[in-house]
Chain A
Amino acid sequence: MTKHLPWIALAIMGAGALGVIATVRGEPINALWIVAAAVSVYLIAYRYYALFIARVIGIDPARPTPAIRRADGLDYVATDRTVLFGHHFAAIAGAGPLVGPVLAAQMGYLPGTLWILAGVVLAGAVQDFLVLFLSMRRDGRSLGELIRMEMGPVAGTIALFGAFMIMVIILAVLALIVVRALAESPWGLFTVAATVPLAMLMGGYTRWVRPGKIGEVSIIGFIGLILAIVYGQSVAQSAVFAPLFTFTPVQLCFLLIGYGAVASVLPVWLLLAPRDYLSTFLKIGAIVALAIGIVIMAPPLKMPALTKFIDGSGPVWAGPLFPFLFITIACGAVSGFHALIASGTTPKLIASEKDAPFIGYGAMLMESAVAIMALVAASILDPGVYFAMNAPAAVLGTDPASAAAAVTAMGFPISADTLAQVARDVGEHTIISRAGGAPTLAVAMAEIFSHLFGGQAMKAFWYHFAILFEALFILTAVDAGTRAGRFMLQDLIGLVVPGFRGSSKVAPGLIATGLCVAAWGFFLYQGVTDPLGGVNTLWPLFGISNQMLAAVALMLSTVVLFRMKKDRFAWITVVPTIWLLACTLTAGWLKIFSSDPRVGFLAHADRFATAAADGKILAPAKTMAEMGRIVFNDRIDAGLSAIFLGVVVAILVYAVRTCLIARRIDRPSVTEVPPEMVAAE
């Protein structure tokens, strides 16, 4: 009993903090209440729930892991648990947990906070942990292979196809965030563009000058980045250079598509690897700095706990709280994409089964903490500034006066002067309608960092530092994701044309790369030219697809629990599966069939098609051709939602069938690698 006493104390503290968050209304609460509540929830969830699940699935420290059984010093290496935690966390944490919560803040900080905490404990971390466990027991196989092993080849192929479509949407939405952040921003674009030659310089350094010195080259790169930010200001102020780095969103869109196509076929040591070093360390450093900054600054939250937009009328994204909040915040609460990571390199490096809860469940809790910080950051901004940055230009107009009037009319009073001042403070021409989450987060980070270091004078520097840090790892993800998508596509096409497979074949590789870039480029272009900002359309698609992948991973885990004859504990995965299916199926259905044109793709298409048939042109379209394109895009998006629904329903059917078969067998029927099996060499 005494060993539980500190935990009971922690629980009381956490409950107290949550109580404050839940009861204080009308006056701003301090961000630290949310941080304290979150940390208490995480620690208790880990101590009790993660270790409970570990007992249920029979984590066995004596059983050799793939890293022991197949040790080769390369792919399979028994790795110290804290070192492996770093590896796994760096692989799962990306832009998702930073962007989703910022967008979700339009409903106030309370719904997002509660979903992040409940989601991670009961769904997200459970999924990461179980998929890691499944893969660890099966020689570190990938998610697609695991589904094939446990649910059959058809289910495996469907899941692989779904994963490819998700990759396409993720790449498009990430690229869109970069476009929104860098359009008409010569300072931002210069610093990001400077990372390309900088990374190539680093690549040459690690290739020829001092091979393997990652730390050293990263420090050189970091100094280069700081210089790029500093000189970016001069570029932005120069009459000669500023126009060279000022692009419209559409121009940037094509630049990015071209960049993606070229970067993903360059040798990896030249651009991808060195930029990944920079972006990874910058990302971890910025996350740590943000955590320290929030704790020291202890800012009050200016966003209300709940805004009136919980009814679905919000300007940032459309749709009511259920189901759309739960797909807007994907990463940080539950992210299906992690299933691909947890069945990637991590299970091959794990030294002992007893490390699995710490790595799988623990790293996801850490990512959830990042999401909480992003939500806090968005909520310390004046709500007027938040909505002026995130509502579409179609609502706000383009100058401070019209934006201030529109936001004030929403019920969040703000003056045009304040908006102009915020833009000046961060060294930009305008902050209006910079949707996508990244710029909002950058303004908040500039607020926090300048409080710690440099004061008002450094705000513009910190803003561009934050933009750079986000753009850098998004570009790395675009590059790496295009490569990964290429292999997925080659595998898929290889099912029909066997000669298409093989990672070293030049022509199929180029064709698959081209198709992959064309696919995400299509959605990026559609998002960039979308008068509602694109985030409106693409982020829900991304959220739905990501949560559906999570549902697929949890269904796989359920199947395995049944096949292990752990039926009694199947609720561990069944409960979050049902919740995710409810959210994603409802959201997918509404995105296709809702009669509200702000939500439903088909209703929106119909509105424009009807108007076009009458010869009318509806704003924001300016020509008949644009009208036609809007209708076409809507129908593509509806089709894509339907594909996602189809994938998840198909997997559901296979999962239920496999569970029923497993129940009829009176012994475990999982296909694990037996513990006594030893390596071939």
Chain B
Amino acid sequence: MSWLARLRAIGNAMVGMPSYDAYRAHMAATHPDREPMDEVTFFRERQQARYGGKNGGRCC
């Protein structure tokens, strides 16, 4: 990972957004039969999962 890519990945991880590329790679490797979500759907799905679910607790 270049340092810029790493910085970006850290920034995304800080707000709970996993890598879309990693998701595509996972889907291609383990579920080639399924249609993966497109990037926008993935983003919305992850946003809802982080903030709408039970993991909303932030520390004091």
Q: Which chain A residues have a beta carbon within 8 Å of chain B's beta carbons?
A: 71-75, 77, 79-80, 82-84, 86-87, 89-96, 142, 167, 170, 173-174, 206-207, 211-212, 214-215, 268-269, 272-273, 276-277, 280-281, 284, 330-331, 335, 337-338, 340-341, 344-345, 349, 473, 476-477, 480-481, 483-484, 487, 503, 542, 546, 681
Contact = CB atoms under 8 A, between A and B. Distances in A.
Contact of A212 (B9, B40, B51, B59): B40
Contacts of A214: 11-12, 15, 17
Interface of B: 1, 6, 8-20, 22-27, 30, 39-40, 42-60
Most B CB within 10 A of own CB, among A92, A142, A276: A276
Contacts of A212: 20, 39-40, 42-43
Contacts, number: 147
B18 A338 contact: no
B8 A503 contact: no
Given A80-B9, A211-B43, A268-B47, A87 B14 contact: yes
A318 B59 CA distance: 25
Nearest to A207: B44
Contacts of A546: 60
A480 B30 contact: no
Given A170-B60, A344-B57, A480-B51, A73 B23 contact: yes
26 contacts: A71-B26, A72-B26, A73-B18, A74-B49, A77-B18, A82-B10, A83-B13, A90-B13, A95-B60, A174-B60, A207-B44, A211-B44, A212-B43, A268-B50, A269-B47, A273-B51, A276-B15, A277-B15, A331-B60, A344-B55, A345-B50, A345-B55, A480-B56, A481-B58, A484-B56, A503-B53
B59 A272 contact: no
Contact of A484 (B25, B26, B40, B54): B54
B44 A477 contact: no
B27 A73 contact: yes
A91 B6 contact: no
Given A83-B9, A273-B51, A280-B14, A481 B39 contact: no
A92 B52 CA distance: 19
A77 B1 CA distance: 17
Contacts of B47: 206, 268-269, 273
Contacts of A269: 44, 47-48, 51
Most buried by A among B1, B51, B53, B60: B60
B15 A215 contact: no
A167 B18 CA distance: 27
Given A96-B60, A276-B51, A546-B60, A83 B26 contact: no
Nearest to B24: A73
B56 to A, nearest CB: 4
A75 B59 contact: no
A133 B5 CA distance: 28
Given A269-B44, A349-B18, A480-B57, 9 more contacts: A74-B46, A87-B10, A90-B15, A96-B59, A212-B40, A212-B42, A268-B52, A273-B47, A546-B60
A546 B59 CA distance: 11
A91 B58 contact: yes
A474 to B, nearest CB: 9
A484 B57 CA distance: 5
A269 B51 CA distance: 8
A192 to B, nearest CB: 17
B59 A92 contact: yes
B57 to A, nearest CB: 4
Nearest to A345: B55
A71 B30 contact: yes
B16 A345 contact: yes
Nearest to A87: B13
Nearest to A84: B13
Nearest to A79: B13
Nearest to A90: B14
A51 to B, nearest CB: 24
A94 B59 CA distance: 6
Contacts of B52: 268, 483, 503
A481 B56 contact: yes
Contacts of B11: 86, 214-215, 281
A675 B59 CA distance: 31
A77 B19 contact: yes
Contacts of A331: 59-60
A294 B8 CA distance: 27
A592 to B, nearest CB: 23
8 smallest beta-carbon distances between A and B, as pairs: A73-B23, A96-B60, A73-B26, A268-B51, A212-B43, A86-B10, A90-B14, A87-B13
B40 to A, nearest CB: 4
A92 B54 CA distance: 16
Nearest to B31: A681
B59 A91 contact: yes
Contacts of A75: 49
B60 A337 contact: yes
B33 to A, nearest CB: 12
A83 B57 contact: no
